[in-house]
Amino acid sequence: MLGSAAAAGLAAAGCSSAPTKPAAPASPDPQTVLLTSLIAGKEHLVSLYERAAAALPGRAAALEPFRQRHAAHLQALRALLPAGSGTGTFPASPAPPNAPASASPSAPPSVSPSESPSAVSVGELRDAERRAASARPAQMATASPALSQLLASIGACEAVHVVALGRVRG
């Protein structure tokens, strides 16, 4: 009998006219937020390489392998992104280095308004690689084990790029 009364009370509570609070929106998954940020950063690096190749045509062939590695990183990061999360602003297979690069709205500005948007030097590429590589340990601290392994590999590649770009004059 008590069970019936409790069930009736619950049913009546569901029919009450008291306003209910709207459900709080679910907070975004931290891994998805991290992946989205990583993808935006990689899109920005690919864009920098494309702009450097356009600004330094004599160095375009030397810069292409670096751009290709970043494009591969971008593809690997996108593969970990849950379906329906979006993939950023670049196509799945990035444009060739001489194609105009589209800017990612979440990518940090890379040049001041007084500079040409396509003027990227090898020194600026090295600085961008150095910043990216140095950010990886903190990112790995909050990443899943699989993403941490990928970030370690990406960070190692970026660190080697800093050294290798020192041999590219431009």
Per-residue confidence (pLDDT) for residue 119, from 0 to 100: 83
Q: What is the pLDDT of residues 31-49, one digit of tens each?
A: 999 999 999 999 999 999 9
What is the domain partition of the chain in residue ranges? 29-82+118-170
Instruction: Look at the block and give the residue holding tokens 């960070």.
Output: 155
Which pair of structure tokens corresponds to residue 122? 């090898």
Q: How confident is the model at residue 90 (pLDDT cuts 50, 70, 90)?
A: very low
- State the residue for tokens 């308004």: 113
Phi then psi dihedrals of residue 11, to 5 deg: -65, -40
